[in-house]
């Protein structure tokens, strides 16, 4: 049986590099095409020296891609650029879009938060929002999967099962999240310069971060009514990783033990989502380089409240790893294929 031929559109960013790092060891995938308009003609080793010597094709411009032999496309272009690009792709290719362009089901909500009209509203109706563990059946039959954002992945994985179980209130959910700098992308920005980030922590997108409606969309779906969350992200002086500290009201007298038991039931057979034992506080270093999500649960000192800690690698489970996980499901492969590596520690 021939290998799946994959194209990586937008391969010169951090998520593109992670896709290459993971896919070169995938036994059923061949990286056939990689695009990067500003670096077209260069080898991947020139752009990312750690990926030299792997026999990869040189980078090409987007308009030079021939999709006739391509089976799967990973689209890693910036937000706001992929709708028209994906609309022009032939029907036979399966697509995993790592941008935010197809994550919000309501095109008016998209326009409100992203500042421009949706350019492919008809295609939006076909897109499946793909947190794999929560949407596996829908992902299986999808042609286009909207790969979730990093913060929304870390928040929804613990919250959705607990909301569905009625153990936490959909009211007054506080998500205090911290991310490594790679989440801001590879392009030069003043806010991600070394002297701006080093020895400092700062909040950004306060009360208006674009991942808020994405989180709310998933939580609202879990309870069948509108949910509004208090979400504040922070930039940390580290390369990769996300820690979401989530503060919730419990329902029906539920304790941390009850919440932990529900999560263990929900994810007991999952390869990548793990609930840590009582009293253990998961850290970003415990998931670095892996497709894992670790979840810890604590009783708050405030009666009737609990604290949930969720950690992922923003470039893997928060982006490229989950994209490959979704591809595996879409193509009928073993879901863990190419993602078996344990975290890099210390």
Instruction: Please identify every residue annotated as catalytic.
Output: 150
Q: How many residues does the chain have?
A: 346
Instruction: Work out the burial of residue 113: count CB atoms within 10 Å of its CB; fewer than 13 is exposed, 13-18 middle, 19 or more buried.
Output: middle
Distances (CA, A) of 35 to 9, 11, 323: 5, 6, 17
315 Cβ contact list (under 8 Å, min separation 6): 14, 15, 18, 182, 240, 321
SS3 207: coil
SS3 118: coil
SS3 10: coil
CA nearest neighbour of 167 among 158, 175, 176: 158
Tell me the sheet residues that pair with 29: 4
Q: What is the DSSP letter of 168?
A: B
**Which tokens is 55 given?**
């026999």
**Where do the H-state alpha helices sit in the chain?**
14-23, 44-47, 82-87, 107-114, 121-124, 132-140, 150-164, 194-197, 211-223, 256-267, 321-330
């Amino acid at each position: 049986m021939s290998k799946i031929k994959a194209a990586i559109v937008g391969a010169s960013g951090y998520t593109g590099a992670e896709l290459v790092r993971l896919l070169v060891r995938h036994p059923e995938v061949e990286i056939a095409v990689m695009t990067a308009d500003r670096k077209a003609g260069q080898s991947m080793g020139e752009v990312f020296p750690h990926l030299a010597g792997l026999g990869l094709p040189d980078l090409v411009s987007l308009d030079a891609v021939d999709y006739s032999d391509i089976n799967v496309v990973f689209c890693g272009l910036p937000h706001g650029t992929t709708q028209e690009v994906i609309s022009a792709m032939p029907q036979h290719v399966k697509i995993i879009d790592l941008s935010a362009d197809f994550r919000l089901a309501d095109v008016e909500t998209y326009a409100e938060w992203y500042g421009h009209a949706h350019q492919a509203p008809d295609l939006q109706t076909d897109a499946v929002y793909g947190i794999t563990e929560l949407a596996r059946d829908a992902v299986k039959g999808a042609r286009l999967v909207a790969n979730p954002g990093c913060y929304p992945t870390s928040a929804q994985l613990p919250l959705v099962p607990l909301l569905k179980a009625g153990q936490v209130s959909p009211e007054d959910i506080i998500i205090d999240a911290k991310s490594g700098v790679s989440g801001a992308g590879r392009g030069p920005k003043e806010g991600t310069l070394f002297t701006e980030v080093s020895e400092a922590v700062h909040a950004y997108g306060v009360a208006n971060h674009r991942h808020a409606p994405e989180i709310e969309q998933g939580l609202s779906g879990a309870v069948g009514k509108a949910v509004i969350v208090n979400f504040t992200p922070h930039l940390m002086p580290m390369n990769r990783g996300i820690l979401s500290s989530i503060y919730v009201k419990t329902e029906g007298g539920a304790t941390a033990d009850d919440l932990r038991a529900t999560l263990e039931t929900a994810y007991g057979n999952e390869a990548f989502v793990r609930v840590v034992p009582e009293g253990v506080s998961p850290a970003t270093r415990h998931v670095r380089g892996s497709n894992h999500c670790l979840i810890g649960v604590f009783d708050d000192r405030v009666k009737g409240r609990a604290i949930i800690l969720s950690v992922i690698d923003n470039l893997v489970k928060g982006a490229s790893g989950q994209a490959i996980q979704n591809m595996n499901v879409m193509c009928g492969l073993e879901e863990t294929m190419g993602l078996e590596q344990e975290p890099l520690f210390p």
